[in-house]
Amino acid sequence: MSMIRTEHVSKKFGHLEVLKDVNLTVENGEVICIIGPSGAGKSTFLRSLNQLEMITGGKIYIEDELFLHREHDKTVESIDKEKHKALMLEMGMVFQHFNLFPHKTVLENLMLAPMTVKGKSQEEVEPLARQLLSEVGLSDKADVYPSKLSGGQKQRVAIARALAMQPKIMLFDEPTSALDPELVGEVLNVMKKLAEEGMTMLCVTHEMGFAREVADRVVFMADGIIMEEGKPEEMFNNPQNARTKQFLQSIL
Amino acid sequence: MKKVIAMLLASAMLCVSFVGCKGNDKQNNVSKSDTAAVDVSDVKFIKDGTLTVGMEIGYPPFEDKAENGEPVGYDVDLVYAVADKLGLEVNIVDTAFDVIFAGIGTNYDCVVSAVTITDERRENCLFSDPYIDSYQAVVIKKGSNIKIESLKDLSGKSVALQDATTSKALLEDMIETGTVKDCKMGPSEKVLTAFTALDNGEYDVVLCDSPVADTYLTNYPDKYELAFLDHENVEQFGVAMAKDNEALQTAINEAMAQLKDEGFFEDNTAKWFA
Amino acid sequence: MKTSKISDFFRWLVSVFDVRKWERKSRIIAIVLVALFVVATAFAFVKPSEEELMDSASQQIRTELKKDETRSRRQVAITYNDLYFINYGSFSTSGVKGISEKYVGFAGSVHKADDGAWNVVGQFINYTYRMLGCGQSMLYGAKLTILLTTISIVCGLFIAIFLALGKISKNPLISLPCRAYIFFFRGTPLMIQIFCIYLAIPGIFEGFSWRSLFDSNDPEGVFKGAFVAAAIAFILNSAAYCAEIVRAAVESIDKGQYEAAKALGMSYGQTMSKIIIPQSARRMIPPVCNEFVMMIKDASLVFVIGLMDITTISKTISASGSYLVFIPALVIYLIITAFFTYVFGKIEKKFSVYE
């Protein structure tokens, strides 16, 4: 069973075609890193999976169910609202700029969505939230406001917040790009641990070391299409596509 | 069973006390209308047994407030005297002059607030017989060399006056018809502001009702002097009431006729205008 | 969650009164205020009683008072104003030849206040007393001003949240009416809005008058009716102004907050009520405070429909020629605005704990 499958996904901002024809399948428990030059449409692709961007055409399947089918900027087919909401909750997202809720404490950040969206009580949610905080190594920060945290700590809280909804898929949108270099490691460690636990992960990243070490598959995107995909060793040691070669040369 | 009897007794007592109350009320009413000189049994009032009067307080000597906040003035004395004749209590409602006519019949029975009887106002309300005559007075600063021999001489002058008054209406009319030319008109909300502006030298003259002018002339003889009293445009103050309330008009006219015979108006004028 | 919120609030409330946590500045202000209060209370204890003060009346006044007992209508206006640590009493008859006597009771003795400094003091007491609306209903003087502005800012802000969200809505069926509303109420003078509501509505609906909302035998009915009309006008007006404040605050919130909320599966309503509005609340406070202070002064517009606020009372008093009244009027306004500015500052601080 594939967790996510996209067919011919396209996205236009006015006349600018950001995604042209993206076809990707993510299997259960798979860790995929999407790499590529800026402006390739990596983030847009990730964001259109949980509908932060509305695609202009193509099909998205989640857990083999047709989640959305659009053509020419019109929705052709979509599942019913309840199902839609349930499938949306299967995806957790981590942003480049953390987007923590600044007016809530760390613990409240974790508990807010489970309580409001799933209607759970505080008693139900709090043990899980505290457990997640200890997993990301921030047990002592539970009652602190986000403004008092470092960038790395914020991103770890953001990961824990997404996990508090108990998603099956985690989407990471350049999670370390806004961090000071010395803080990158702590976030990557958390992600590595998550991958080892078997979480299905889709990461847009510039951390080639992380991609090489953790990813099951690496996807190279450029100009709104997937140029090449494959196992990390093959991709990094023996790229086939000329664009991939050029990109890897430029960054390594 | 005992409870039922007790309840019956209680309700019977309640009924009796109600009847008793009503009886008392009636007696009170009878005794009141006994003393009343004018019968008002066919007049409908906003509040029974009370003459509710709309008045803009802040126009001495007609309407002013004492230090304890109670209204005093020529009109206030008149209202109490009339109400006395009608055998009624008085309730004075302080209202801005701009909206005073809108409230007749809903907020108060009548308006007594130095209201000049005009044809325009007659279209919307009834007036009692006039109770005071007033003329347009032109007041100048003491010692100023301005000469006013008729209202035409207001040409080229700056005139301070109170907003929404007949003085303003008259001056506007004269400006429109060209009787007065090049006249700068400065309306203010209170007549006192007009007099202060004159004293401060911001305006050449004040145009106002003669009783008001009299008050300022007596109170501040070293500040103001009378330049001209216009006997042509006589104005008369009256009590204004709702268009359909002819019964009240009759009653008030009768009360004022009696007051006139008793010399009330001479006394009141002497009391307020020296 | 609910109980913890309430207990949180009480904990905050208690902490507000915890002097140790105060800043130096507020501590000094508090000490000065308490000191003033203690001094005033000390003076209040040695102030002459009402009987002592009013017993000072001269023989002439006494004869007039005696006559009043048999007259159908009293001729002597008796005034007694008590301002905690000082009091003032006067007797006066009206008319050109009216007589008057004034007394100020302070620190154990009664001072004649017909002229000189005590006269000024006496007038200040009398004017302050009247403008505060002492001995009057809630719809009078400073009480009216505070009541009207508080009601209109609270209700107005509540409506404003929906107006603002409506205005930024992408659905033109929602945003256009909201835009039109805001445009209309910001683009027309408040005074004319008051006039319209007070005069035009009873004109359109035959038989309706604002007074008729209340018992016709209630002598305060006129003022209650006018107050309802004024409050509606003020609420509708402040809703429009606050809507722009709310809109600006909501739009200043980072887009990432919406995305994070959406990614967590929160609906639009949940996002607004849990994430966006609480965060923008802090940014709204300074402009809302500003709007509130403006409205305290705008409240004087109610004079057009016969309500007596501080400004109207001071104008009526000044019509008799006493300009001194404007000094206590200014002081009263300053105290009210200072108080509310302080309260808003405290609320802002409370909202910005997380920054």
pLDDT digits (tens, 9 = 90+) for C78-91: 899 998 899 999 99
User: Are the C-beta atoms of residues C292 and C344 closer than 8 Å to each other?
Assistant: yes
Q: Do residue C147 and residue C56 come from a single domain?
A: no
Residue B15, CB half-sphere, CA atoms under 13 Å: how many? 6
Q: Do residue C182 and residue C243 come from a single domain?
A: yes
Structure confidence by residue, pLDDT tens digits, C33-70 = 999 999 999 999 988 888 888 888 888 888 888 888 88
How far is the alpha carbon of C267 from chain A, nearest alpha carbon, in Å? 8
pLDDT band at residue C73 under the 50/70/90 scheme: confident
In a domain, C26, yes or no: no
Judge whether residue A137 has pLDDT over 70: yes
In a domain, C35, yes or no: no
Judge whether residue C147 has pLDDT over 90: yes
Q: Select from A103, A145, A161 the Cβ nearest to the Cβ of C278.
A: A103
**Mutation site for A-interface testing, chosen from C264, C266, C348 by largest number of A Cβ within 10 Å:** C264
Minimal Cα distance from C281: which residue of A?
A: A103
Cβ contact, residue pair A103, C1, below 8 Å: no
Indicate the residue among C83, C113, C132 that finishes a domain: C132
A91-94/A169-173 β-pairing: parallel
Q: Which DSSP state fits C31?
A: H
What's the whole-number average pLDDT of chain A?
91
Cβ contact, residue pair B58, C319, below 8 Å: yes
User: Are the C-beta atoms of residues A22 and A219 closer than 8 Å to each other?
Assistant: no
- pLDDT of B270 reads 85
What is the separation of C-alpha A234 from the centre of its chain, rounded to a whole number of angstroms?
A: 23
Q: Do residue C153 and residue C275 come from a single domain?
A: yes
Q: Are domains B7-133+236-273 and B136-229 of this chain identical in fold?
A: yes
In a domain, C209, yes or no: yes
Gap between the Cα atoms of B274 and B229, Å rounded: 18
Place of tokens 């009413």: B29
Cβ contact, residue pair B69, C320, below 8 Å: no
CATH superfamily ID and name for B136-229 = Periplasmic binding protein-like II (3.40.190.10)
Q: Do residue C128 and residue C184 come from a single domain?
A: no
For C96-151, the DSSP string reads: TT--EEEEEEETTEEEE-SSHHHHHHHHHHHHHHHHHTTTS-TTBHHHHHHHHHHH
Domain ranges of chain B: 7-133+236-273, 136-229
Structure confidence by residue, pLDDT tens digits, B245-265 = 999 999 999 999 999 999 999
Q: Which value does ipTM take for this structure?
A: 0.91
Which of the pair, C216 or B262, is modelled with greater confidence?
B262
Tokens of C152: 């209109």
Query: Which chain C residues touch A if contact means CB-CB below 8 Å?
Result: 1, 4, 254, 256-257, 259-267, 270, 274-275, 278-279, 353-355
What is the extent of the structural domain holding C126? 50-132
The proportion of chain B whose per-residue pLDDT surpasses 90, expressed as a percent, equals 29
B71-72/B205-209 β-pairing: unpaired
pLDDT band at residue B22 under the 50/70/90 scheme: very low
pLDDT band at residue A252 under the 50/70/90 scheme: low
- β partners of residue A71: A74
pLDDT band at residue A203 under the 50/70/90 scheme: very high
Structure confidence by residue, pLDDT tens digits, A56-95 = 999 999 988 888 899 988 888 888 888 888 888 999 999 9
- pLDDT of C249 reads 94
Q: Do residue C62 and residue C198 come from a single domain?
A: no
A57-62/A65-71 β-pairing: antiparallel
Q: Do residue C160 and residue C99 come from a single domain?
A: no
Q: Residue C135 CB: number of other CB atoms within 10 A?
A: 14
**Which of helix, strand or coil describes residue A226?**
strand
Which of the pair, B27 or A85, is modelled with greater confidence?
A85
Gap between the Cα atoms of A9 and C332, Å rounded: 68
Gap between the Cα atoms of C123 and B274, Å rounded: 26
Helix C141-167 to helix C116-132 angle (10° resolution) is 40
Cβ contact, residue pair C264, A103, below 8 Å: no
Judge whether residue B6 has pLDDT over 80: no
Cβ contact, residue pair C1, A116, below 8 Å: no
CATH number for the domain spanning C278: value is 1.10.3720.10
- β partners of residue A217: A32
Which amino acid is located at C71 in the chain? R
Domain count, chain C: 2
In a domain, C17, yes or no: no
Gap between the Cα atoms of C258 and A123, Å rounded: 27
Of C237, C221, C222, C215, which is closest to residue C292 (Cα–Cα)?
C237
* Residues of chain A neighbouring C1 (CB-CB closer than 8 A): 115, 122
Q: Do residue C245 and residue C121 come from a single domain?
A: no
Tokens of A54: 């509305």
- pLDDT of B16 reads 37
Q: Do residue C152 and residue C265 come from a single domain?
A: yes
Gap between the Cα atoms of B92 and B73, Å rounded: 12
For A171-201, the DSSP string reads: EEESTTTTS-HHHHHHHHHHHHHHHHTT-EE
Indicate the residue among C99, C132, C165 that finishes a domain: C132
- pLDDT of B25 reads 35
pLDDT band at residue A34 under the 50/70/90 scheme: very high
What's the whole-number mean pLDDT along residues C113-119? 89
Structure confidence by residue, pLDDT tens digits, C160-180 = 999 999 999 999 999 999 999
In a domain, C162, yes or no: yes
- pLDDT of C3 reads 56
- Name the helix (H) or strand (E) containing B205: strand B205-209
Gap between the Cα atoms of C149 and C299, Å rounded: 7
Residue A196, CB half-sphere, CA atoms under 13 Å: how many? 7
- Cis-peptide into B61, omega within 30 deg: yes
- pLDDT of B184 reads 84
- β partners of residue A106: none
Which amino acid is located at C113 in the chain? A
> Sign of the C-alpha dihedral, residues A229, A230, A235, A241?
negative
Residues 6+ apart with CB under 8 A from A83: A65
CATH architecture observed for domain B7-133+236-273:
3-Layer(aba) Sandwich (3.40)
Structure confidence by residue, pLDDT tens digits, C259-292 = 999 999 999 999 999 999 999 988 899 999 999 9
- Cis-peptide into A181, omega within 30 deg: no
Q: Do residue C214 and residue C171 come from a single domain?
A: yes
Q: Which DSSP state fits B117?
A: P
In a domain, C92, yes or no: yes
Q: Do residue C197 and residue C65 come from a single domain?
A: no
Which amino acid is located at C87 in the chain? N
Gap between the Cα atoms of B134 and B193, Å rounded: 21
pLDDT band at residue B13 under the 50/70/90 scheme: very low
Q: Do residue C103 and residue C163 come from a single domain?
A: no
Gap between the Cα atoms of C288 and C239, Å rounded: 11
Structure confidence by residue, pLDDT tens digits, A161-184 = 999 999 999 999 999 998 998 999
Minimal Cα distance from A161: which residue of C?
A: C264
Q: Do residue C193 and residue C86 come from a single domain?
A: no
What's the whole-number average pLDDT of chain C?
88
- pLDDT of A97 reads 93
Judge whether residue C204 has pLDDT over 70: yes
Indicate the residue among C103, C132, C161 that finishes a domain: C132
Which of the pair, C310 or B8, is modelled with greater confidence?
C310
CA angle C3, C6, C7 (to 5 degrees): 85
Tokens of C313: 């009372």
